[in-house]
Structure 1
Amino acid sequence: MVYKNIKYAFLLLIVLIGSVSSAQEIVVHDPVMIKQKDTYYLFCTGHGISVFSSKDLKKWNPEPQVFKDKPVWADGVAADFKNHIWAPDVSFHNNQYYLYYSVSAFAKNTSAIGVAVNTTLDPKDKNYKWVDQGIVIQSQPNRDMWNAIDPNLIFDENNTPWLAFGSFWEGLKMVKLNPDLKSIAQPQEWHTIAKRKRSFELADSDPGDGALEAPFIFKKNGYYYQFLSWDLCCRGEKSTYKVVIGRSKTVTGPYLDKEGKSLAEGGGSIVVQGDENYFGVGHNSAYTFDGKDYIIYHGYEKKTNGTPRLIIKEMSWDADLWPVLK
């Protein structure tokens, strides 16, 4: 999630299951999801990280935000930070929940990815408490040609943890983490997992015109599938967001699209894009719940002049093992 226009964070959102569904109005950008017992929990961009719960993926109930007060370290990263936290990622490991999140200054790579942990997602549980663990990765203008936002945690076949992340600049990155999932492993191992052409005359502090962001790695069919978003979000009727994909037999790549082109060389096969209903769609996540595969993303609806909507669709797989949205 780069360059999120904060005004869209206050637009009402309707949850869609498939193409049309009844739902409760909620505020959502950059949705990720996890299931604890019989309850789905949705985390998304918002003040202190917005949270919703559902029993059926249709009706969503608001839950307490993750951070009532902004992380103590955030002002040292982004001076204009107002606890509007971007693009969380949630998973369960080591008997606790890990919630990665992004702190950034608008239109800069003055950014950091932090992580918080909790033993339960149920706010009614006596043990419910998010405990911040601080910064995992940080980027700085004129030092780094990458942006520390849009995190996604993935484990390889050896149970080694990796963090995928990034937007614009010189592409999307992946770095190996320590088993504590809170720090970079030493010696450091970095990989570029996706990249689009960037005009060479731009200053290093400029995000550039190679518009890509939000990697999400999904293990299935013996492959690591990398979903990512191309082009521009958060612009209402001018939104051009779309989801593309590539896959690899190894977590660090190379990820190749349907034509065999590497994502690190500008490749990417379209999964879903704007159509007669949406100006643009993107920033997705993907999961298997109760034997069904789902893709989750937001889109900018045409009939409401670009109101962002949460979309949840099932995925099937074609004969060549590429995802097909139902």
Structure 2
Amino acid sequence: MRLTRNKPPTDRLRGRRIAALVAGLGVVLAAAITIPLTVGTASAAAYPGPGIVTGDIVDVHDPEITKTPAGGYLLVHTGRGLSIKTSSDRTAWRNAGSVFPNGTPWADTYTRGGQDLWAPDITYVNGQYYLYYSASYFGENRSAIFLATSPTGASGSWTHRGLVVESRTTDNFNAIDPNLVIDGGRWYLAFGSFWSGIKMIDLNPGTGLRSGTALRSIAGRNGGAIEAPTLFKRGSYWYQYVSFDRCCAGAASTYRVMVGRSTSVTGPYVDRNGVPMTAGGGTEILAGHGSIHGPGHQAVLADNDADVLFYHYYTDSGRPQLGINLMRYDSAGWPVVY
């Protein structure tokens, strides 16, 4: 059993502690940097820089996104009570408070009384927003995933719906990094970090809470660094995006985005070379390059112009920032970031 994970809340919010040191350095311009021809094994031809984004785009970890009924964008990310950002055009973002401005006492058992909540997942379905989120403490797999719902998505409008799944210190998985998956009339939740990898459970579509006791394994690295599953359907394939390696170490982060696919939402998922994701497989689609360090904890949104990849990365100063790119699919049906 791995006894560490790579997302301590103190590192997740590192940008806040150093904000005074980097104020005025023009962090927005980092989204439009020029990438050297070669940096290690990555090249400008291999990975583009993030698209230009403006506004409140720093101090972002684990961004998750959904479209609003009006066509705007609602983004939630790791932070005190879970931070909310909104945008009308996917470029300019503004802070919009927090999901739980009055705290989450039901999560205190898992956070040791801390107010930082991790890695939310937000979906607009059935006329309301469903928000799954993680409560944990660095270095432990005594963790939980909870559900909240809201008719508007606004700060303070969320209703606590209860515990979805938890992990104990005797378990070989970690109940963090949730992702709601809807396949026709069936609902699933993918989640997991380190330990024995990425898991999937069934949900009751009527309540959004867990249904049954089945616990499937859909990806893993034999205890190695894998987390943040995102399952997304395009054409006849379900794509499972995950993040490999080290997050939350500033410019030293080695996070990278990997993908596999399956014709079934429950797997088995394999990479481009046919290696099962349960055996460490994964095809890299985005990694650090130039002044973009540790891109990962991705979310994928089907938008009007393309499928869109959201993620966080670190600038040279070590500050976490929102990254956004479009994706296309090559002749073999594998996603390519541009």
Q: TM-score higher than 0.5 here? A: yes
Q: Which amino acid is the alignment partner of residue 326 of structure 2?
A: E
In terms of mean alpha carbon deviation, does 27-36 or 251-260 score higher? 27-36
Shift, 1:225, TM fit: 0.3
Alignment match, 2:7 = 2
Q: CA deviation at 1:19?
A: 3.3
Residue in 1 that maps onto 2:119: 87
- The yes-or-no answer on 1:183 pairing with 2:209 is yes
On the 8 A contact 1:244/1:272 being kept in 2, the answer is yes
Residue by residue over 1:248-282, the C-alpha shift from the partner in whole angstroms, topping out at 9 and shown as x without a partner, is 01111110000000000010000100111223111
Classify 1:165/1:9 alpha carbon distance in 2 versus 1 (closer, same or farther; 3 Å).
Answer: farther
- Residue aligning to 1:206: none
* Bigger mean CA offset, 109-118 vs 173-182: 173-182
Name the count of aligned residue pairs: 305
Once residues 13 and 320 of structure 2 are traced to their aligned partners in structure 1, the CA distance between those partners, rounded to angstroms, is 11
Identical aligned pairs, as a percentage?
39
1:48 and 2:62 equivalent?
no
Which among 26, 33, 37 is matched to residue 65 of structure 2?
33
When structure 1 is superposed on structure 2, of 288-297 and 220-229 the one drifting more is 288-297
In the alignment, the residues of structure 1 paired with residue 207 and residue 321 of structure 2 have an alpha-carbon distance, to the nearest angstrom, of 32
Alignment pair present for 1:236 and 2:242: no
Q: Which of 48, 51, 54 is the aligned partner of 1:23? A: 54
Aligned to 1:149: 176
Per-residue CA distance 1:259-317 (angstroms, 9 max, x = gap): 00000001000010011122311100001112421001011123x3x222211001111
The aligned counterpart of 1:196 is 221
Aligned to 1:162: 188
- Which runs of 5 or more residues in structure 1 are unaligned? 199-209
1:277 aligns with 2:291: yes
| 1:100-150, Cα deviation, whole Å (9 max, x unpaired) | 110001110111000110111256xxxx72101121111111x21100100
Instruction: Identify the match of residue 59 of structure 1 among 87, 92, 95.
Output: 92
Residue in structure 2 matched with residue 205 of structure 1 by the alignment = none
Answering whether residue 334 of structure 2 is matched by residue 322 of structure 1, we say yes
> SS of the residue aligned with 2:301?
strand
For 2:135 and 2:175, the matched residues in 1 are separated by 8
Distance 1:122 1:71 in 2: 16
1:74 CA displacement: 1.1
Q: 1:215 aligns with which of 229, 233, 241?
A: 229
Identify if the C-alpha distance between structure 1 residues 20 and 313 changes in structure 2 by more than 3 Å, giving closer, same or farther. Answer: closer
Displacement of 1:9 in angstroms is: 4.8
Does the 8 Å CA contact 1:9/1:46 hold for their aligned counterparts? no
Give the TM-score, by structure 2 length: 0.85
Compared with structure 1, are the counterparts of its residues 325 and 224 closer, same or farther at alpha carbon in structure 2 (3 Å cutoff)? same
Contact 1:16–1:312, Cα closer than 8 Å, also in 2: no
On the 8 A contact 1:50/1:66 being kept in 2, the answer is yes
Q: Is the 8 A contact 1:78 1:110 kept in 2?
A: no
Q: Which has the higher helix share?
A: 2
Correspondence for 2:141: 109
Gap regions ≥5 residues in structure 2? 1-5, 20-26, 33-48
Asked whether the 8 Å contact 2:185–2:205 carries over to 1, the reply is: no
Among 303, 324, 329, the alignment partner of 1:289 is 303
